[in-house]
Structure 1
Amino acid sequence: MTSLQAPISAGYRAVLAVREFRVVFAAHLLSLLGLVTGEIALSVLVYRVTGSPLLSALAFAAGFLPYLLGGTLLAGAADRFPARRVLVVCNLLCAASAAVTALPGAPVAVLLAMRCLSALAGPVLAGTRSATLGDVLGGGDLFVLGRSLIRIVTQGAQLAGFAAGGLLLTAVPPRTALLATAAGFLAAALLLRFGTQRRPARATGAADVVGASLSGARQLLADRRIRALLLLSWLPPFFLVTPESLAAPYADAIGAGSVGVGLLMCAMPAGTILGEVLAGSVLGPRGRERLTLPAAAVLLLPFLLYVLKPSLGWSLAAVALAGLGAAYTLGLDQWFVAAVPEELRGRAMTLQTAGTMTVQGLGMALAGAAAEFAPVHWVVAGSGLIGTLVVGSVVRLVVGSA
């Protein structure tokens, strides 16, 4: 049996058999659960302190606003310093910011500033972790399945984390929950420090993080192939968030109530998890690559069902079906890591992550703005139509760049 055949037959089990990956995976789960719980606790804390819905919403949104800034100006850290050091420092920064927010009497301005600090570290942490998977698992199929597992646990932990965070806050005050968040990040830092290998930095030269970040972004975006693959990473999520961001008004429009809101919020992650698991378990590397462009081209078409203002059951089916199409990312990952030079891998992964988070935030905002002027079901259907045309154009770019 060749080295290529082994990971195909073993699938996700071969990835989880790598001890160092299990450490990275466990650290990611700890920090992710801490992050989600901290988002809820901080939002509740700010509201209790100020009584202001606006400031409470800002406490939540502050986790998204600095993402592009951190991904653009700090991405160089992922390549200019040893990866283990970057991962540990980012987790420690997040732990420290959570601990500060838990201090009794901390002003609201400090609470928001600490939320922004952890958000600045977020894209560097995610990008460095993704680049590290290439070192731990190699650049082949194991890397693709490793990234897939990270995405699966991210989707699942977000659902579980919001539920667990809500339950936790019924038993303990928000500041105590924030201490649990700090403990999660600290435990992740310790796992990474003592459970992963020390590897040298990918790039050499002076440790000018901002300069390296900007020059790396220019190099990546100047490459036709990489630019096309980045667009294929960013644009589908921009449209995919529409039904989630409008779940509350749509549930109200069809009389589904709060239960409908919760189900609509869960449908996309559930479909995404199922699609990733099926593509990673049933298909081999070539099959996933052949699936990439067709799946990306049609994944937004289920939103067209919203033209009929479907019932809760049919709308859940449409959203979950669109989530299944997100399995296109497995083949995309393989193409992306093959196209990016080794010395730029950390910056490339950081830029990709920051861009995805940013466009999702923009997509939510634009969907909400559009729903101020048009019925929600028309907004979702329009997102499906326009998104299909846009993503189809990007698919042609990717084909042309091959």
Structure 2
Amino acid sequence: MPPTTPTAAAASETPPPPEPTAAPAAGAADASPTGYAAVFRVREFRWVFGAHLLSLLGLVVSEIALTVLVYDLTRSPLLSSLTFALGFLPYLLGGTLLAGLADRHPPRRVLVVCDLVCAGAVALMVLPATPVAGLLALRCAVAAVAPVFQGTRMATLADILGDGDLFVLGRSLLRIVSQSALLAGFGVGGVLLTVVPPRGAIALTAGTFLLSALLLRLGTARRPARAADRREGLGATWSLLRDRRIRALMLLFWVPPLFVVVPEALAAPYADELGVSTAALGLLMCAMPVGTIAGELLAGAVLRPATRSRLVAPLLLAGFLPFLLYALRPGPALAALALVLAGAAGAYTLGLDAWFVAAVPEERRGRAMTLMTAGMMTVQGVGMAGAGLVAEFVPVHLTVAGAGVLATVAVAALLAESRAAAGRKMRRG
């Protein structure tokens, strides 16, 4: 489309049999820093990681190529931008209505079928007879299954790596790859489109989805469905959200991205407000992903799990303070530094991941992670649209600074609620 105990070095390089069976999870009780290298020593994770690279490449290239194709067919900037926006909007629908699939069916089957659905949708995009409306509908189909795929994969990581520090680091690696795609993926897609036409580039992405499905089918263990009752519907999703602790943690995943996207969404207007070059705009667009990657790598490689847990609240509260620098209308270099610092504070997610997987019952893990993923993507789309709306009436630099203030207040309230919910649960226990 973000298992087994590690074996001896020689055995770990042996390809897995066609029908592997689940073994005890590794790393469930890890309390000391293990480092990213330990995650790659788990053979099954390497197959998941490879599939993640392929499916991510397919998504990024197909987004660019489809946007160009729609514009070539219609010459409409609105439809071209709508094509890109449709990558966010169906997340809410797919994440709520389809979340139960992650627990009601064997996880390997869900992952493979999601990749095959994406490959089929992309293959239909290649057909010259497919109208523009059909292209947009197929784009929605890919986006609708994405949260199910990502939620199932996250839950499967807990099976592969255990719910201790290896899981946290595995999740971090998949996020780092996704952030890196923001820096390199669009450039690769742009270069590819200079060599092949848009439909040809889209056809190549169908192959990446098929290869991802093959890796997941051959490289991951066969596991049963998590939910005992396969008839569970939306009621099980609402029962998750009725849990005060889970609800607070879910909101801690959802609320920060709502505000994080504001400076990126307004980077072009801000560069225009300053009267700077397109090179400066590129600097503003790259700054936050660079900070995010650096922060995650540092936290994952250096900090102990207990330290990461203690830093969740400080990093969440401090992460939006650099936005306040925009109130001074800084130049591109200083604004980029503020965004790098804000991105680095995103390392709070490592500790928050550990809190979340510990709070969610195992039989609801796939559903919870699908819902969490869908919410994160949806609020980013809402945040981008909201930022643009506010900037119609308020100067861009004040819009970003105001987002920093609102985000800090909202995060402080959610941290207090999470702490209160955890204390209540401990008293009940």
Does the TM-score normalized on the shorter chain lie above 0.5?
A: yes
- Aligned-residue identity in percent: 62
Whether 1:172 aligns to 2:196 is yes
> Who is 2:305 aligned against?
285
**Does the 8 Å CA contact 1:7/1:142 hold for their aligned counterparts?**
no
Deviation at 1:238, TM superposition (A): 0.6
> Who is 2:14 aligned against?
none
Whether 1:346 aligns to 2:366 is yes
> Who is 2:22 aligned against?
none
> Who is 1:129 aligned against?
153
> Who is 1:360 aligned against?
380
Deviation at 1:253, TM superposition (A): 1.2
Q: Match of 1:131, as an amino acid?
A: A
> Who is 1:29 aligned against?
53
Q: Deviations over 1:44-70 (max 9, x none)?
A: 000001111111111111111111000
CA distance, structure 1, for counterparts of residue 142 and residue 28 of structure 2: 39
Q: Match of 2:101, as an amino acid?
A: A
Instruction: Give the superposed CA RMSD.
Output: 1.2
Deviation at 1:6, TM superposition (A): 6.7
More displaced stretch, 250-259 vs 365-374: 250-259
CA distance, structure 1, for counterparts of residue 418 and residue 30 of structure 2: 29
Q: Match of 2:378, as an amino acid?
A: T
CA distance, structure 2, for counterparts of residue 265 and residue 102 of structure 1: 31
Matches for 1:2-401 after TM superposition, within 5 Å: 8-206=32-230, 208=231, 211-212=232-233, 214-401=234-421
TM-score, normalised to structure 1, is 0.96
Deviation at 1:8, TM superposition (A): 3.3
Q: Which consecutive residues of structure 1, in runs of 5 or more, have no partner in the other structure?
A: none
SS at match of 1:63: coil
CA distance, structure 2, for counterparts of residue 4 and residue 191 of structure 1: 24
Q: Match of 2:79, as an amino acid?
A: L
Distance 1:71 1:199, change over 3 A: same
**Does the 8 Å CA contact 1:33/1:158 hold for their aligned counterparts?**
no
Q: Spell out structure 1 runs of 4+ moving beyond 6 A.
A: 3-7
- Considering fraction of residues, name the structure with more helix: 1
More displaced stretch, 55-64 vs 115-124: 55-64
CA distance, structure 1, for counterparts of residue 28 and residue 178 of structure 2: 27
Q: Which consecutive residues of structure 2, in runs of 5 or more, have no partner in the other structure?
A: 1-26, 423-429
**Does the 8 Å CA contact 2:30/2:166 hold for their aligned counterparts?**
no
Q: For this pair of structures, how many residues does the alignment match? A: 396
Q: Match of 2:175, as an amino acid?
A: R
Q: Match of 1:168, as an amino acid?
A: L
Q: Match of 1:174, as an amino acid?
A: P
CA distance, structure 2, for counterparts of residue 257 and residue 101 of structure 1: 36
